[in-house]
Structure 1
Amino acid sequence: MKQTPLALRMRPVHIEEIIGQTHLVGEGKILNRMVLAERLASMILFGPPGTGKTSMAIALAKSLDIPVKKLNAVADKKKDMEIVVEEAKMMGQVVLVLDEVHRLDKAKQDFLLPHLESNLVTLIGCTTSNPYHSINPAIRSRCHLFELHPLTANDIKTAVKRAKEDNEQGFGTEDITITEEALDHFANSANGDIRSALNGLELAVSSTPSNPENQIVINLDTAEVCMQKKSFSHDKGGDAHYDVLSAFQKSIRGSDVDAALHYLARLIEAGDLESISRRMIVTAYEDIGLANPQAGPRALAAVEAAERLGFPEARIPLAVTIVELCLSPKSNTAYKALDSALSDIHNGKSGDVPAHLKDSHYQGAKTLGRGLDYQYPHNYESSWVNQQYLPDSIKYKNYYNPKNSGKFEQAIKQVYEKIQNDKNKKV
C-alpha cells in the first residue's frame, strides 16, 4: 500500500502539469516567461489553502532542473537554512521552498538576505497571509509577489480525473469508476481546495470494496461521506443557484435577517464563497451606501477574513456581517445619482468644462484664459465658495437627492441643502 498521501504523490513536476493559475503559468504569463528564459527569481506565492502554492514552487524548480530544498519557517531552524546555503555553494544554486514564510523570524531573515541578493539561494515563499501585511519589507522587497486564486470546479475535476488515470502516482492500475454526480460533488464541495478533493478521493478508493466484477464504483453517497459534506440541492452553475443568490441579496435589502441567513446557509452548503462575497460587498454599497458608509469596508473586511479562514470557520465573519447589513439603515442615493449623471452623458447632455476649471499648469494656459477666475475654496472660511462647476448647458442640474436614512446621510443632507440654498441666494 502506498503510504505517501495521494495529494503529495500527484504534485506536478513541471510547469505544464500545474492545474489552474493560468494568469501566472499560462502561455506568455510571468512564471511561464521565467521558465522559458531560465531565470527563476525569488518570489512569494500567496493565496487560500489548497491552491497549489508549494506544488507550484517545486514544479518551477524542477522545470529548470534546479536543486530544490523544502523547509518550514516555523518548524525548521536557522541551522537547517545554513545547510541549504552550504549545499547551494556546492551545487551553484538552490531553490528554497519555504512554507509559512510569513512566520520567518529576524535571525533567519538576516541570514538569508545576502544569499538572496547574490541569487545563490532562490527563495519561493508560500503563505496564506497577505504579504503586504505579514511579511517583513526587507524580504518582500527582494521578491516578486504572486497571488494564487482558488481553483475552479473544472480545475478540481481535472485533478481528480488525473489522479484516477495516473498509472504511477495515482490509481490508473485499478479499475475505478466515478459517477458524474460523485465527480461533481468532489469538485464543488472542495471549495477550490485541490488537496481536500484528492484526500476525499483517496479515502473513497481505499474504503470502497470492489464489486463482483472487481471494480470500485464511487457514487454520490460515497463522495458525500468521504468529503464530509452533503450534496446540495442546486448546481453552482445552474438557474436555481442564481435564484438563491438573488433572494440572498434581496433579503438583505429588505432587512429580513432570518431570510438572509437562510439563503447564506444554502450558499455555504453550495461552497460558493466567491458569489457570497461579491453579493455582500455590492449590497453594502448599493443598498446601504451613505446611510452607513462603514458597511462597505466592514463587509470587505469580513470577506477577507472568510477567505483567510476558509470553511467552516468562514461562516462566522459572514454571519456577523450579514446581520449588520440586514439591520442597517438603507440608502441608494449615491449610486442612483451617478446613474442619473451617466444617463445624461449617454443622451448627449454634457458640455464644455468651464474655463476657470480647465487645466492651467502649462505654458500659455493664461493666454487661453484657462483657470484665470478659479476661486480656491480653502481660501474661504467655510471651505466653500459659490462658483460654477457644471457645464453651461446643465449648470442647474441636480443629480443627488439625499434621504434621511441613518445619521451620516442626515448630516450630509444638511450640508447639501445649505450649499444649495447658498447657491440660490446668489443666483
Structure 2
Amino acid sequence: MQIYKVGGAVRDRLLGKPVTDIDWVVVGATTEEMLAKGYRPVGADFPVFLHPKSGEEYALARTERKSGRGYGGFTFHASPEVTLEEDLIRRDLTINAMAEDDQQNLTDPYHGQRDLEERILRHVSPAFAEDPLRVLRVARFAARYAELGFKVAPETLELMRQLSESGELEALTAERSWKEISRALMEDQPQVFIQVLRDCGALKVLMPEVDALFGVPQPEAHHPEIDSGIHTLSVLEQSALHKQPLTVRWACLLHDLGKGLTPEDEWPRHIAHEHKGLKLIKAVNERFKAPKDCQELALLVGQYHTHGHRALDLKASTLLELLQSFDVYRRPQRFEEFIVACEMDARGRKGLEQRSYPQADYLRGAANVARGVAVQPLLEKGFKGPELGEALKRERLKALKAYKESAAS
C-alpha cells in the first residue's frame, strides 16, 4: 500500500499558496485492507474513506469510463492493480494531476509542474471532453489564478467549445452547476469566469440571458464602455475588488438582463429595462436553484437599481415606497446589500471606477430616519390595525420629507 497527496494540495504548495484541503490517493490497497486499518467508508460511487484520526479523505486509485450523459455518467473501477499514473490521467488539468509521497517526491507524468511555471491551464487527456462539469471548473480555475497570469490553453478551450456544442452541458444538475458558479463568483476575478465561459460558447448555453448582453450598446455619456456585456463584467469585477458577499455578486451579474431584450431600433436607450429584466432574472434564479437570499436580492436590484442611482432626486413618497419594498424595518441587511450593489454598478464603468457615490450614505440615512419613527406615540393616540399602519406610513413620509429638505440645504 502506497499513499500519495494529490491534486490541489500539491498544486498550491508548488505555487506557494496556502494549502487548505488535502486529498489522498491510495495505491495497491483493497477496500478490506482500508477497513482493517480503521478507515471509515463514505463513497457511494467509488471507494473513498475517512482517516480514523484526521478525518481526511483517502480514495483508492481508480480508473473511469464514460457510460452515460452528464457529470454522473461514469463507471469507476478501483483495484490494487490501478497505478498512480492511471489514477492521475483521469483528472481534469495537468496542474491538478500531480502527486507527492511523504518525502515530497513529486510524481508528474503529465507535466503539470511545467504548466504551472508557464501559467497554462491544460487538459490532461482527451477524456477531458467526457465530463461537462469540467467546462465550469476550468473557467473557475481561470478566475482563481488570473492574477498570476494563467490562461486556458487553446487546445483545452477548443475541447470546452466542443463540450458546449455537444448538448452535454444541459445534462448538468442545477446543484452541481450552482456549486461551481457560486465558488467561481467568490474568486478574486469572477469576471474572468464569465469571460472564459463566453469564449468557449458555454455562456450562451448556461446563461443565454447574460450572453445576450454582449454587443448591446448603452448611452456613452453614462457608459463609456458602451457594451452592456463589458459593463456587466466590470460591475462583477468591482464587487470582487470590494470584497462583496455572494448575494451582491450574483445580483451584479444579473442586474441588467433586461437590456438584452431592447429592440435594436431603440438602442442605445433601454427604457424600462429594469421591469423587463425581472422575468429573465427569475428564470436564471430558478435554473440554478440559487439560494433564496441570492434570488431575492437579484430581483430587487434588477428592479430598483436605477432608483438607487437617482436617490437624491427621488420624491419622499417614492423613497418611502423603495424602503417599504425592501422591508428595511425587519431586513436592514438586505437594503445595505442593495446599496452596495448599486455602488458597484456605478463604479463598473470605464474610467469611473473611483467615482464617489453619495447616494449610498443618503439611502442609509433615509433608512435610519424611517426606522426611527416611533410606534408607541401612535398606539397612545388609539391607532390600531390597518389604521395604525397608515398612520405610521404618514409619519415616516413626514420624516423623510424633512430629511430630504435638510439634505438639500
| TM-score, length basis structure 1 | 0.25
Look at both structures and tell me which one has the larger radius of gyration over its CA atoms: 1
Higher relative contact order (Cα pairs below 8 Å, separated by 6+ residues):
1
